Amino acid sequence: MTLADLVLHTKVRQRLENYSRQPTHALLLIGEKGVGLGTIARTLAKEIAPANVAIITPRLHDKQKTSSINIDDIRELAEFTRDRRSDPICVIIDEAEKMTVSAPEAFLKGLEEPVAQVFYILTTHKPAKLPATIKSRAQTIEILPPLAEMCESLFARTELAKGSAKLAKVKFLGDRRPAEIVRLLTDEEYFDAATALMETAKHFIQGDPAKRLSIVANCTTRDEAILLVQNIAKLLLLSGVAAKNSKAVAHNLHATSEVIDRLAQNGNVRMQLTYLALNI
């Protein structure tokens, strides 16, 4: 796969092609979940270093309950990249914001003392969680969602009939995010879960406080909560186009935005969803 095979926003494609021709020591790819950061990073890496691509992703260490990239991962990386070489090597660090507290400082040395022919590509959906010291030492490219018509080629590869209910749902749920669209089209279980969560968001908006609080009680994980509130915001925005009370729509969208920010900053899941249930 090459950059030419990917569905990309025109401006993004130009920036990525420029980078592949003249790669800098470190690149940071940022964008919302589902735009395809991982796919883009791997495609770029292959163009820069066809035979030498290494990938670091968050994983469980020892007795940890959440996956992360810790200092031992970075030390192994330092051993791997410290020697000079004639052929280029490209190291991808997926979800770089999941580095543990001590890992960024250890990684910083590799950015401050670059080794010839060693390139780093970092990806993150949450750039605010990355230390400024790392962001300042990497070229940044924001991966914008492509235009809707650019995504039509993804649907042309499926056997879904035009106008079918599933196709309409995939387009709505995928919302111009190529990786998300592909996953919805190819992973039936994921599609069903995403559809169910959108239905839950609809019931949340239409329900009375008691109904909303019952939905809150059944939402247990942070990721699920964030997705639920994002879906609520999406439905509110869609309904707001034809709404007569624009002030109410603005108030509700502001409330969802606040809750998403607080959840992203580790705010208590139950507390934030309860706040939303009582304030829209």
100-134: pLDDT as tens digits = 988 999 999 888 888 889 999 999 999 988 999 99
Chain segment 193-210, per-residue pLDDT in tens: 999 999 999 999 999 999
Question: What pLDDT is recorded for position 161?
Answer: 61
Q: What percent of the chain has pLDDT over 70?
A: 96
Residue 107: per-residue pLDDT: 92
Nearest to 280 by CA among 196, 217, 206: 206
Phi, psi of 79 (to 5 degrees): -65, -40
Question: Burial letters for 77-101: b for 16+ Cβ neighbours within 10 Å, e otherwise?
Answer: beeebeeeeeebbbbbbbbbbbbbe
Q: 3-state SS of the chain: helix, strand, coil percent to 5?
A: 60, 10, 30
Mean pLDDT in residue range 25-54: 96
User: So what's the pLDDT on residue 84?
Assistant: 67
Alpha-carbon gap, residue 189 to 45, rounded angstroms: 30
Instruction: Please write the tens of the pLDDT for every residue from 153-204.
Output: 998 877 776 768 899 999 999 999 999 999 999 999 999 999 999 999 999 9
Output 116 or 8, whichever has higher pLDDT: 8
> DSSP code of 158?
S
Which residues, other chains included, contact 105 with Cβ-Cβ below 8 Å and sequence gap of 6+?
none
Mean pLDDT of 237-241: 72
Task: Identify the band that residue 212 occupies on the pLDDT scale cut at 50, 70 and 90.
Answer: very high
In 125-202, beta strands by DSSP E: 139-142
Report pTM: 0.88
Cα–Cα dist 137/119, whole Å: 13
Q: What percentage of residues in the chain have a pLDDT greater than 90?
A: 71
Residues forming a β-bridge with 120: 26, 91
Q: How far apart are CA 146 and CA 149, in angstroms?
A: 8
